[in-house]
A and B are shown apart, each in its own frame.
Chain A
């Protein structure tokens, strides 16, 4: 019997956001996520803990990113916002059940 062993590293790109993720900022996030995908990173964690506000345009950028990542064989996971005003849009649209959301970055980075 031959035994071959190896180790594999799974690379996960992380993006941490601060401030407001709204229509004004959504385009920039979309472009950033697109560039990660173009670079071959289809596993992305977006850290929303420091966001103060998210609207549906910001949500749309994350949803688009998630769909594109999943199409590429990966996923886009979130570290959940700590501010109520940033979490609200996910709850009202039920996207808190669609995204994989973790309370801590370490949890979002594990288990790929």
Chain B
């Protein structure tokens, strides 16, 4: 049985488990579809998790992912108990004024069909839907 949930230590090395987990999860959609979508979704989830480590700083030192394939969509939820995210503070970089950081959310929003955030029971909860 392919685990649909993945808990990671909130460190950059642990994020390398995302790719193999996602690859196994998408097996049910077939090799061709998986090959077509895997890379961009892996990048987006990786960026979401990196943001959690860098900005959320989870108190329990963990990031919790869950995912579900629903027909032509993949729903991914990332949860951490770090600092509350101020979504109004997230700005889109100006392409004509290259900056060094701040591109994670820009990448996620281009790859995901939708991205939602809520603060629930002292947890940051990000819900992303990807077309597969």
Contact = CB atoms under 8 A, between A and B. Distances in A.
B98 A98 contact: yes
Q: For the complex, would chain A's binding face be called helix, strand, loop or mixed by DSSP majority? A: helix
A55 B16 contact: no
Nearest to A95: B98
B110 interface: yes
A24 B49 CA distance: 13
A93 B94 CA distance: 10
A85 B110 CA distance: 15
B98 A55 contact: no
Q: For the complex, would chain B's binding face be called helix, strand, loop or mixed by DSSP majority? A: helix
The bracket for how many chain B residues form the interface is 20 to 34
B46 interface: yes
B104 A56 contact: yes
Given A60-B100, A95-B98, A85 B42 contact: yes
B13 interface: yes
A84 B35 CA distance: 11
Interface in B68-116: 93, 95, 98-101, 103-104, 106-107, 110-111
Interface of B: 12-13, 15-16, 19, 39-40, 42-43, 46-47, 50, 53-54, 93, 95, 98-101, 103-104, 106-107, 110-111
